[in-house]
């Protein structure tokens, strides 16, 4: 579905991502784990067209996308939920959700997809007219998910969705991600919470200082000595 081939990205002369290759299969969760500054978020930003590549290529469903504008990439079916959620805090929950559908041409289908979002996150229906900043952290993450779903994506890219959330909320969020996949979405999950990420993923990549140092089946990496020592705390 998605093929990231040997990409490098520089920020002001510093190489943040060094020859990274990632493949994400349709209908599954692919996870990138690693410490802060490992290059995980930069990879997602490169896929979304928010940063330019120094070298390499990115392909989505047989089409090269690394030279496209971000809005074109969204139009192909890639939705990016950034770290920190980045909701519009003074806008209503409803208006935040509708920004996700801004580029859609099938306006008659938007209400149907809005109802699907409310099926996932019923609390958002009851908070529709509230300012987004009045939501709890977990509710704001639901809103960020919902906004992405309103763009009618095929691939959801989730950047540190568990950040700052209580353990019970993180557990519920994991269940939502499983449901997304069951309902036909594909997911790339960036997480520092390696235990959560590996429990959800089919395939995993470990990034360190901008490079992929390990990759493979998530179940196998769960028992890898390096992963257990440095990422799972065991």
In order of their start, the domains of the chain are: 1-77+153-234 (3.40.50.300), 87-152 (no CATH)
| pLDDT computed for residue 234 by the predictor | 64
The span from the CA of 217 to the CA of 201, in Å, is 8
Nearest to 146 by CA among 176, 173, 129, 121: 121
- C-beta of residue 142 within 8 angstroms of C-beta of residue 87: no
The span from the CA of 79 to the CA of 48, in Å, is 8
Q: Tens digits of per-residue pLDDT, 140-162?
A: 999 999 999 999 999 999 999 99
The span from the CA of 119 to the CA of 112, in Å, is 11
pLDDT higher than 90, residue 104: no
Full-model pTM: 0.93
Backbone angles phi, psi at 44, to 5 degrees: -65, -40
The span from the CA of 17 to the CA of 39, in Å, is 6
């Amino acid at each position: 579905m998605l093929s990231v081939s040997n990409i490098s990205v520089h920020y002001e002369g510093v190489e943040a991502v060094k020859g990274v290759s990632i493949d994400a299969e349709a209908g599954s969760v692919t996870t990138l784990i690693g410490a802060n500054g490992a290059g995980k978020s930069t990879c997602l930003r490169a896929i979304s067209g928010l940063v330019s590549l120094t070298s390499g290529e990115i392909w989505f469903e047989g089409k090269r996308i690394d030279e496209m504008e971000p809005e074109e990439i969204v139009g192909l079916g890639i939705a990016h939920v950034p770290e920190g959620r980045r909701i519009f805090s003074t806008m209503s929950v409803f208006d935040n959700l509708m920004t996700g559908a801004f580029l859609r041409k099938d306006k008659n289908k938007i209400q149907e997809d809005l109802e699907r979002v409310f099926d996932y996150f019923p609390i958002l229906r009851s908070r529709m007219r509230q300012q987004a900043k009045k939501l709890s952290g977990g509710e704001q993450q639901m809103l960020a998910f919902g906004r992405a779903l309103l763009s009618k994506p095929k691939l959801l890219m989730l950047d540190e969705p568990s950040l700052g959330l209580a353990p019970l909320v993180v557990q519920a969020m994991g269940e939502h991600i499983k449901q997304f996949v069951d309902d036909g979405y594909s997911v790339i999950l960036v997480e520092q919470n390696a235990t959560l990420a590996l429990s959800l993923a089919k395939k995993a990549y470990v990034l360190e200082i901008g490079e992929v140092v390990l990759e493979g089946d998530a179940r196998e990496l769960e028992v890898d000595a390096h992963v257990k020592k440095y990422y799972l705390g065991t």
